[in-house]
Homo-oligomer: A and B are copies of this chain.
Amino acid sequence: MTVPTGPSSAPVLVVGTVAFDSIETPFGHAERILGGSATYVGLAARFLTAPVRLCAVVGRDFPDDYVGLLEERGLDLDGLVRDPDGDTFFWAGRYHYDLNQRDTLATHLNVLAGFEPEIPPSYRDSRVLCLGNLDPAVQLAVLDQVEGPDGAGPDLVVLDTMNFWIEQTPEGLREVLRRVDVLIINDAEARQLAGEPNLIRAARLIRAMGPETLVIKKGEHGALLFANETVFSAPAYPLEDLHDPTGAGDTFLGGFAGHLARLGRYDAEAMKQAVVVGSALASFVVEAFGPERLLDLTPGAVEERVMAFHRLSAIPEGLLVVSE
């Protein structure tokens, strides 16, 4: 396929997991399908920009078919390492009827346990760095290696994390937070990280920890962006049939970072658009199991979905309360 790159297209580096996922939802199940944060981030970002560079580890059991599938979608896999001494990271989860809740059934770190990412020299000039959900210690090691275009580091660092790291490695996470530009988390994680139930207050507290920009994902309620003095509220695409929420957050991150890389602009207005692009891509991924929808999606379908977000949230002109 032709990767629709834009005027700037800064190189994007994605560090995260490439994994096997086993997923149960009330609507079906899937065994050992392709998963992992880097997979979703990369598969989403490649709709917007190129090159999209992946850094992750897989085990001896990872099929060449899956590698080929990522390669065919135009992802740069120079940093995809195969560890011959272990198995690929495996996650199994079961979603409840309302899909907002899930139980983790198994987490086998396998080769991820000893993962010390080495960023290939060809990746080091990346301008946009996506740190997918990983141990903060690993995220820090990556931050130390990415030189950016002029040795002063990447232009933009976007971070994802989760409740596990908020609870288990708060110190490491705080250190990472001081070094990133954008944090993308869900509402429950934001409340937990800040220790504050009001999301607007929580946002202020989290931004004081380091990230100048914060995106709070709220699932069926859309997303909030806090950038400079700006708050932006993006709707969720109204879906009647959600089949599998796995990877929606990573897909959002990929679309968000990909749009910014494509523009080569990181201001609040660009960030608002990026939230919409991320939301649009995430709205596709939940329509099928695993990354299936991301594999066959056409750029035209993405464009159409982005336009639907415009229609969904545009307030008709001429709204005046006070009489002229």
> Which A residues form the contact surface with B (CB < 8 A)?
4-6, 47-48, 97-98, 197-201, 204, 218, 220-222, 224, 231-236, 238-240, 242, 259, 269-270, 272-273, 276-277, 280, 299-300, 302-303, 306, 309-310, 312-316, 319-323
Contacts A47-B321, A300-B322; A231 near B312 (Cβ below 8 A): yes
B313 and A299 form a contact (CB under 8 A): no
Contacts A47-B321, A277-B319, A319-B273; A200 near B239 (Cβ below 8 A): yes
B277 and A306 form a contact (CB under 8 A): no
Chain B residue nearest to A198 (CB atoms) is B240
Contact of A306 among B280, B306, B319 (CB under 8 A): B319
A306 and B323 form a contact (CB under 8 A): no
B97 and A197 form a contact (CB under 8 A): yes
A322 partner residues in chain B, CB cutoff 8 A = 4, 299-300, 302-303
Chain B residue nearest to A6 (CB atoms) is B323
A313 and B313 form a contact (CB under 8 A): yes
A312 partner residues in chain B, CB cutoff 8 A = 231-233
B316 and A273 form a contact (CB under 8 A): yes
A315 and B309 form a contact (CB under 8 A): yes
A242 partner residues in chain B, CB cutoff 8 A = 198
Chain B: minimal CB distance from A39 (Å):
20
Contact of A4 among B277, B309, B323 (CB under 8 A): B323
A220 and B199 form a contact (CB under 8 A): yes
Chain B residue nearest to A9 (CB atoms) is B323
7 closest Cβ contacts across the A-B interface? A233-B235, A221-B221, A98-B197, A299-B322, A269-B316, A273-B319, A200-B238
Chain B residue nearest to A275 (CB atoms) is B315
Give the complex CA separation of A40 and B320 in angstroms. 21
10 extra interface residue pairs, beta carbon distance < 8 Å, beyond A306-B319, A306-B321: A4-B321, A198-B239, A201-B240, A204-B240, A221-B222, A233-B313, A259-B321, A269-B316, A270-B316, A313-B313
